[in-house]
Structure formats: structure tokens, C-alpha cells
Structure 1
Amino acid sequence: MSTLNTARTTRVAAGAIAALLLLSGCSSKAKDDDKKGDTAAGEVKTGEGISGKTISLGALTDMTGVYATLGKSVTQAQQLYVKQLNADGGVCGYKVELTVRDHGYDPQKAVSAYTELAPKVLGFAQFIGSPFVAAAKPRIDGQDKGLVLPQAWSSALLGSPYIRVIGSTYDIETINAVDFLMKEKGLKKGDKLGHVYFEGDYGESALAGSKHIAKEAGLTVVEQKIKPTDNDMTAQVAALKKAGVKAVVLSAGPRQAASLVGVAAAGGFNVPIIGNNSAFAPQLLATQAGPALAKNYWVASPSLPIGADTPGAKKLVADYQKAYPKDSLDNGVVAGWTAAAAFGEALKKACASKDLTREGVDKALLTIDALDTGFGIPQNFTDPKAPSSKESVILQPDKSSTGGMKVVQQPSASTVAEAYTPSA
């Protein structure tokens, strides 16, 4: 299975990159045509993605695939941010426009959507999917050079001045997660740690974290690699139970979390399970797996949850519920809002420097060293080789909490995470 999955991942990534390279020449004319706005708006320098009085940003999301629930929340939060930004006068007299494309967590659709929008937008306030961002990285870095704030936390994305990971990368997040298991849930030296993970950049990055802390703490990692289309975790639970693991890390999606935790509970496999930030949606609490999730599942997150007791969180909850009264709250709202706010802050600083070109916005982000959007963890964007934070919050599913999650450990970075340097 491992060899087959690796080959498939390699083919997908190679195919995606080849498609990008094949189509990369298509954007040169559009880029030249966009230069006509260079002296608009009181001598503020402009370029690609700005036409007339509009700044165009892209959002490559998943509203129909494995992360559909979170993708919707991320996108609506960003649309809310843009609406409020424009109501306050926009940026340098320009209105901001968000152009959304749903790729359904499909590699070819993701690459196609990026290729379509790249010549037309100043940058991307959202790009869901570590493997897809990684596939686009050669073109982003080599040709387009527009700021991309991905909803992806793979360490493979570090090192680019244009792709900026917001919050701790999956490897660091996993280190913090396992540290929590050891301090609070009885995992100890000599134990076996199970790790169920998606093939590709997301899962491999998280696995690097579990292997690192396992080496430091004297644990043994038992691996179970899966595909995003694998929704039934019965075989994985059986394998981990047979191996005698004492805790499990899950680096997958909400569907896999519901299956893994539910199957484990039904089979009397009562070990603590903790997921990366992408591995939960509050809608799961209404499923058959809900009670098991509330009892024996935790999530590591790059920020406080939407239901946090902070002024920023409370305002966002009120504004979001007013804008989308029929939709539930989850941490996708926080992630989307945080990324949009980071892009918005970069635009404002670029405006102040009278340079709203892609280069100007990229440089502006590098000056932001403590962005606080109201969710507990200041973000530092001054070093492209590092994530904007090494801290994680540990959350637990809870029906009674706004957004379905409560805080069980406040923002912090473990000693192992502090000393760890991610490898891009």
C-alpha cells in the first residue's frame, strides 16, 4: 500500500507541476496588460490584480470535497472581512474584491483554478490543500510572485517569500499535540504512538513532527497511511489495536476523525486520539460518533477557537451570525478571518508605502511582526523560513461551546517545539 500511494502522490504532484509549467506562458500578456494601472490613485504604484478602482484577490477553496464544511466557513469569513474593509473605505481608495473558485480538493481542478486566476489577481487570500499549494509553488516563486496565504500548514511550504504559512506548521503542531498526550493523557517513554495520516504534504509534514518528538521522548511511531478518499478507518483501528499503541495522532479530515474515533470506541479501544487542526468539524457532534468525540478526542489548533472569550472573537461571532444566520460556527471562520486580516494588513502597509504592486505587498508583509486578530496568538511574518508562530492551543469537542470546541490548554509551545527547526 505504501509503495502504491507514494507512486500515486508522485504522479499527481508531477502532473500538477507539469500542467503549471505548460500553461505558465499564458499569463505573460495578461501581466503586461495589467501594468496600465501603474500611476493610478494619487501616484500609488500598482500592477497585476488592480484594475480601475478594484483590487482583486483570489480564493481557491474546497466547498464540495473532503474539507467542504471548513472551506465554506473560511470563504464566508473572508467575504465578511472584505465587506467590512470596503465599508471602511477600502485600501488607498480601492475596493477589494474576492474571486472564489471551488476545487473540491481535486488536484487537477486546483491547478486549473490557480492557472486561471493567477494573472488576474494581486494574490491569494486562501488556497486550501498543502499538496496543491506545493504543486503550484514553482510557478508562484519563479514567475507570478504574488502573495499566497494558504489554508495549509505543511513545512514544505516554508522558505518562500510569497507563500506564508499562518500559525505553526503541521510538524510543530504535532509535536505540541504529542507533548500534550505525554503531559496530560498518560503517554510515556517506551510506549507506541499510532499515527494515521493522509498521503502527501499534509500527512508527511505531520509525520515528521511525531517522529521527531518520538525520538526525543523515547516513543515508537506506528504508521497508518491513508488517502483522502478513505473514509472507513476500521482497518486502521484494528492494526493500531493489534500493535498495542497507547495513543493516536490523526492527520486527516473530519470524516476520518468521525470514523476513527467512532470505530475505536465501538471496539473498546479507549486510547486518547488527537488530530491536527484540519481534522474536526463541529457538525460531527451531531453524528453517531459525537459522544465518542466529546469523550476521547482532542485537536491541536494554531489559534483559540471561534468561541473564545476575547473581544475579537465575540465581535466576529456576532458579525458572522448576522451575515450568515443559517450557518454554523466553526474554526474555519477563525482561519479564514485571520488570513484575510493578514492580507488586509499587508495591503494597508503597502498603501502607506505607495506601492500596491505584488512586490510592494510582499515586502509589506515582511514588516508585520505581531499581528493579533483577537484569537490568542500573535503572528510574526518577518522570516519566510519560519512559520508565523510555534504555539498551539489544545481543544476538545464540546456541544455546549460556541463553535463546538472548548479550550483545554491555552496557547503554548512545548520545549521540543521551541528547539525544533522545520525542514522545507
Structure 2
Amino acid sequence: MKKPKLPRLPKQSKTYVAVLAVLALTAVGCSEKATKGDGDTKDAGGVKTGEGVTAKAITLGALTDMTGVYASLGKSVTQAQQLWAKQTNAAGGICGRNITLTVRDHGYDPQKAVAAYTELEPKVLGFAQFIGSPFVAAVKQRIDGQDKGLVLPQAWSASLLGSPYVRVVGATYDIETINAIDFLLTGKRIAKGDKIGHVYFEGDYGENALTGSKYAAAQAGLTVVEQKIKPTDNDMTAQVAALKQAGVKAVVISAGPRQAASLVGVAAAGGFNVPIVGNNSAFAPQLLATPAGPALMKDYYIAASTLPIGATEAGPAQLAKEYTAAYPKDGLDNGVVAGYTAGKVFGEALKKACADKDLTRAGIDKALLTLSAYDTGFGITQNFSDPAAPSTRESVIMKPDNKVPGGLKVVRPAAVSKAAESFKTGG
């Protein structure tokens, strides 16, 4: 029997691609339904309802990583969204209903991630969180073709753009990387003719960031020296040696916090003193208490699409206070801002859909398109009117600092570089 066509995935290891392909194919088969929620059901106020919505509750899903490579991020994102839901419910809920968040930990494992999506999809209105670009990509065909529930991934790959239902909150990795390299260029840390290194995860995240670094390099007359790694690679000794041998003047890292700490620490120990800049998920404040801490605070930088949780502006300052009160035993990091921002975006779409008397999946998707200049309160206005575009092209550049709550301070405010402005993402 001829196999159905699978969704196109970014280049990854053969084993990884095979696993995701089988999972995606299996998931499609076991998720087929005769009908989806059609919005025929109406409440007493005439509001259309569908999956995940009852007379008293709106249930959203959260597919997170609390035990894998992004465990610290996943915990912060999830707790921030639980805080958002609690605050929303205390204020009367949305459309007369409480927000319920159903959480599943996939541990950054592809089989668990797809299985968790398959389990929750029929029970929820949409997903306020889904960590892992490869895992979102594995079910994107289902989301676009039959499920049609809004998904706000904690993932910023350009391959996720174009879907009316999978909506990236913030700049995609390629644009974020272009802005990061621009920071090094404008700060005269690198110049035309220089080589820059790029250490990146195989797969969607790292390779999309690499697209950005190659574009930025072409625009500025730089050469990129590539070092591809796996999420299970924690020792960057070999990568540092290769980049030092190549004579790079700066390094970009598109990986996790562990890899970033190893890269920065090994480079410092070997006298390889060059600036290193990472994507938004390549840092955790817990790293500042490790031997790599001093090196991270010396010449390491992070690009992101929100102000850090330690910023003095009203939004981050208020959230830091509220989160600390709700979770006094847990520290602050930028996952708190990312999770809370996604919750607020989903909530704003719910409020608009309620006003339009349509709390179906179609109603939520339509409502999100109207948010063309939404101020989340965290430094960058987001535009969700075009599914083919990221919600912003701006990035904030931050530097680790153990004296700041959350461990990051702003060294360049939100801005978009000329190269990022002209770049055709996904192209």
C-alpha cells in the first residue's frame, strides 16, 4: 500500500527523522475523526462552543519539558502560565468561564511529545505551550489539516510559519540570530573579512538559526565556521578546539543552557577570549552558580523577543513580584516571561472570541488575526495579523549578571537590524 505523504521536516540525524516520521504517521492514523467541533453548540448567551469548552471552563493544553534538556525552562514556562490562569480566574475568568491548564511533561522525547499531543488534542480548545520545534513540526500536518486548534509553541523555528493555527510568539531563530550578529558588528567586535563560529543543534532549531547566521554573514562579508551538535552532547571541548584552530573572532550558539555553559567555560579555560552570543533558550540563571559563571558574565550575550524578568519596567517588575510570591522556592528566569506572555496572548484571543460569540477553534483563530499591535507589557509589540510572518522582527540583547533577578540585564534595547528587516524568513 502506498504510504501517505509526510510533512516536510528540516534536516536532522537519520535516526531522529525516522522516529519523527513514524510517530507523525501513526498519530495521523489514530487521530482521524468523522467530525470536529462544528460550533453548533451554543450556551445560554448565544456563544458558540466546541472542543475544550464547557459552561464553566475553558481547557487549554501545555506540552512541556520538565525532565529533559529544557527542564528549567519548561518548569518556569508552565508555572508562569498556571499563575496567569489563576490570576485570570480570580478576576472572573473569560466569557464567564475559568481557565484550566492541562499539563503533560514530554521530557524532550519525540515519542512522548507526539503521544501527549494525541491524548490531549480532543480534550482542549488549544495549546498555550508546546516546547520543541521538531515535535510541533511532527504534528503540524494534523493541526493544519484536521485539528485546527491554536498552538502557541515555545519554539521559534521559521518552519512553523505559514500556519493559521501554529503561531510563533516573537522573532524566529533566523531573525533573532541576524540581530545577534548585528549586535557584534555594530559593537565593532567583528568586522568584514572575519570568521565567526556557529555551534548549533541538529534539527529545526539549530539549522534555522544557521540560516540566519549565513544570511547575516553574506550581508556583512563574514565567513561562518559550522559545528553541528546533538542535544545529548554536553561537552563542547572538541567544538572549542575546532573553532579556535579556525581562527574565529566570535561564536554564535544555538543550543541549550548546558551546551552554552560548556562552550563558554571551555573557551575561557583555554584562553579563547572571543564574544559568544546565544539564542533565547541558550541560558539558564542556574549556570551563574557553576564554574562557568564568571566566564558567562564576562563576554556572553543572549538575544530574545521580550525584556528579561529582571528588568525594571512595570511589566517584568510586577510579574517578578507575583511569580516570587506564588513560587517562593523557585528562582526567576526568562521562561517566566515567555510563558506568561503566551498566556496573555491566548487570553486576549479568547476575550475577542467571546465578544464575537464564538469560542470554537475557528473563532479563536479568527480572533488572533485581529491582534495587529498587541502590547504584552514586556517590551515588544506583537503583530499576529499575518500567519506567514513572525509576530516581531525585534530582539533585545542581554548579558548575564548574577546581581540581577533572573540573571540577565539589557545591554541593547529592542531593535531590528537592517539585515533582519530585509531578510525573507523561511526563504
Q: Given the two structures, how large is their TM-score scaled by the length of structure 1?
A: 0.96
Residue 16 of structure 1 is aligned with which of 13, 23, 47?
23
Counterpart in the other structure of 2:332: 329
Match in the other structure for 2:4: none
Partner of 2:143: 140
Aligned equivalents of 1:318 and 1:334: distance in 2?
12
Cα pair distance change 1:90/1:205, threshold 3 Å: same
Q: Which of residues 296, 311, 329 in structure 1 aligns to 2:314? A: 311
Alignment of 1:418 onto 2:425: no
Query: For residue 71 of structure 2, what is the aligned residue in structure 1?
Result: 68
Paired with 1:286 and 1:416, the residues of 2 have a C-alpha distance of: 36
1:92 aligns with 2:95: yes
Give the 3-state SS of the residue equivalent to 2:123 in structure 1.
coil
Q: Deviations over 1:352-401 (max 9, x none)?
A: 00000000000000000111121110000000000000000000000011
CA distance in 2 between counterparts of 1:249 and 1:342 reads 30
Q: Which residue of 2 aligns with 1:363?
A: 366
1:348 corresponds to 2:351:
yes
2-side partners of 1:145 and 1:273: how far apart?
40
Q: Which residue is 2:251 aligned to?
A: 248
1:10 to partner: Cα distance: 2.3
**Alpha carbon RMSD of aligned pairs, Å?**
1.4
C-alpha distance in structure 2 between counterparts of 1:295 and 1:372, whole Å = 33
User: Which of 278, 284, 289 is matched with 2:281 structurally?
Assistant: 278
Name the CA distance, whole Å, in 2 between partners of 1:354 and 1:326. Answer: 41
Which structure 2 residue ranges, 5 or more long, are not aligned?
Answer: 1-10
Q: Once structures 1 and 2 are overlaid, which stretch shifts more, 194-203 or 4-13?
A: 4-13
Q: How many angstroms does 1:309 deviate by?
A: 1.6
Measure how far apart 1:37 and its partner are.
Answer: 8.0
Asked whether 1:81 is paired with 2:84, we answer yes
2: CA distance, partners of 1:15 / 1:206: 26
For residue 176 of structure 2, the aligned residue among 173, 177, 186 is 173
Residues in 2 aligned to 1:64 and 1:279: alpha-carbon distance in whole angstroms: 17
Mapping 1:189-200, distance limit 5 Å: 189-200=192-203
Q: Distance in 2 between matches of 1:131 and 1:36?
A: 31
1:227-238 map, 5 Å: 227-238=230-241
| Corresponding letter in the other structure for 1:340 | G
Instruction: Give the Cα separation in 2 of the matches to 1:273 and 1:129.
Output: 23
Contact 2:12–2:204, Cα closer than 8 Å, also in 1: no
Is 1:43 equivalent to 2:46 in the alignment? Answer: yes
Structure 1 outlier segments of 4+, above 6 Å? none
Cα distance in 2 for residues equivalent to 1:217 and 1:54: 52
Q: 1:6 touches 1:199 (CA, 8 Å); kept in 2? A: yes
**C-alpha contact (below 8 Å) 1:303/1:375 kept by paired residues:** yes
Tell me, what secondary structure is at the counterpart of 2:151? coil
Task: Report the CA distance between 1:18 and its aligned residue.
Answer: 1.3
Task: Select which of 295, 305, 325 maps to 1:292.
Answer: 295
Other structure's SS at 1:298 match:
strand
Q: Shift of the alpha carbon at 1:6?
A: 3.1
Residue in structure 1 matching 2:14, options 1, 7, 31: 7
Deviations 1:171-204 (A, max 9, x none): 0000000011111152111111100000110011
Give 1:41 shift: 4.1
Cα distance in 2, alignment partners of residues 249 and 331 from structure 1: 19
- Residue matched to 1:395: 398
Q: Would you say the 8 A contact 1:44–1:355 is kept in 2?
A: yes
The alpha-carbon deviation at position 8 of structure 1 amounts to: 2.6
Quote the sequence identity (%).
Answer: 70
Partner of 1:262: helix, strand, or coil?
helix
1: CA distance, partners of 2:218 / 2:171: 20
1-side partners of 2:370 and 2:40: how far apart? 25
Find the aligned partners of 2:295 and 2:19 in 1 and give their Cα distance: 35
8 Å contact 1:9–1:199 — kept in the other structure? Answer: no
Q: List alignment gaps of at least 5 residues for structure 1.
A: none
Which amino acid is the alignment partner of residue 114 of structure 2?
V
Which residue identity lines up with residue 21 of structure 1 in the other structure?
A: V
Whole-angstrom distance in 2 between the partners of 1:309 and 1:290: 23
Amino acid at match of 1:160: S
Q: SS state of the match for residue 359, structure 1?
A: helix
Instruction: Using the TM superposition, give the Cα deviation of residue 19 of structure 1 relative to its aligned residue in structure 2, in angstroms.
Output: 2.3
- Partner of residue 58, structure 2: 55
CA distance in 1 between partners of 2:304 and 2:34 (Å): 39
Aligned 8 A contact 1:41 1:93 in 2: no
Q: Distance in 1 between matches of 2:397 and 2:39?
A: 49
1:185-228: CA deviation from partner (whole Å, max 9, x where unpaired): 52111111100000110011100000001111111111111110
Return the offset for 1:22.
2.2
Paired residue secondary structure (2:48) = coil
**Residues 37 and 52 in structure 1, CA contact (< 8 A), matched pair in contact too:** no
Map of 2:266 onto structure 1: 263
Contact preservation (8 Å) 2:264, 2:292: yes
CA distance in 2, matches of 1:343, 1:211: 34
Cα shift at 1:5:
5.5
The amino acid across from 2:19 in the alignment is V
SS of residue paired to 2:329:
coil
Query: What does the per-residue CA deviation read over 1:153-188, in whole Å, with 9 as the maximum and x for residues that have no partner?
Result: 000000000000011000000000001111115211
Counterpart residue type for residue 387 of structure 2: P
Distance 1:283 1:147, change over 3 A: same
